[in-house]
Amino acid sequence: MVSKGKAKEKKQQRKEMLARMGAAQQLLSKANVPDKDHMDTLIPFKKYNRNNVDLSIECVHYEQVKDDGDTFETIYQILEGNMKAEYDACYWGWNEKDKRDELKEKNPWFLVAKNSEGQTVAFSHFKFDFDEEIAVLYCYEVQVTEDMRGKGVGKFLMQILELIGSKAEMQKIMITVFKHNPRAIHFFADILKYADDETSPKFMDPMDEKDYCYEIMSKTLKVKKASGS
């Protein structure tokens, strides 16, 4: 039998868990309003003028992107061009329909970077979501065209995501990387200072870690509460 003390403790723990989830859900609902401008206080970050690159950057919900077929198609083409080989090298494989659907599902957001000709040359696909009872910003993709690589664009987009996440009061930002992609691991671990997340397979299933082709990494965010945000 469970003692009264243990039962009371479990009841209190459940109450605290529900309170955390309720608070997280409020933050997620607030962040996922489709016409919300997550860069309204990040005006300097709407332009990127470095390394002979001149880009404009906007943060948009899929509801806005879907009405611009050219932008969405370019986003998909950049993703496929950069990542198809990486997926094919893993047991996941590449499935065009699945990837197109993933770009549209469950309140997706995008950072879209365009050059002076209005061409999309980089993007990030992300969501505000739950992870282990807390609210997080999950970055599913950060991709740049081949001619934009090595110019700091990807790092700049990730910096914007961290600011957006902090502003939205997300507790951390998370990403998934393929273990067979050392360049991505170097980018996130060494340059951006991400660490292996507690939900990564190496911690969740250490006995069968070799069965996984990916790791989950994360970075704790400094929450910045802004009036009217």
pLDDT in tens, 175-185: 999 999 999 99
87-91 contacts, C-beta under 8 A, 24 or more apart: 89/178, 89/180, 89/213, 90/178, 90/180, 90/213, 90/214, 91/213
Segment 159-168 shows an average pLDDT of: 97
Q: Which of 39-43, 47-51, 67-71, 111-115 has the lowest mean pLDDT?
A: 67-71
CA distance 225 to 229: 8
- Asked if residue 227 has pLDDT above 60, the reply is no
Query: Which pLDDT score, from 0 to 100, does residue 133 have?
Result: 85
Whole-number pLDDT of residue 87: 96
| pLDDT tens string 186-222 | 999 999 999 999 999 989 888 787 789 999 999 999 8
What is the per-residue pLDDT across 5-29, written as a single tens digit (0 to 9) for each?
Answer: 777 777 777 777 777 788 899 999 9
Sign of the dihedral through C-alpha 152, 158, 162, 163: positive
The pTM is what?
A: 0.89
Residue 56, strand partner residues: 47, 114
Cα distance from N-terminal residue to C-terminal residue, the chain: 49
CB-count burial class (<10 Å; 0-12, 13-18, 19+) for 179: middle
Q: Encode pLDDT of 85-140 as tens digits.
A: 999 999 999 999 999 999 999 899 999 999 999 999 999 999 999 987 899 999 99
Q: How confident is the model at residue 77 (pLDDT cuts 50, 70, 90)?
A: very high
CA proximity to 25, closest of 131, 142, 113? 131
- Determine the Cα angle at 123 with ends 122 and 125, to 5°: 160
Name the β-bridge partners of 50.
53
CA dihedral for 122, 119, 168, 103, sign (positive or negative): negative
Q: What is the DSSP letter of 75?
A: H
* pLDDT band at 42; cut points 50, 70, 90: very high
97/199 Cα distance (integer angstroms): 27
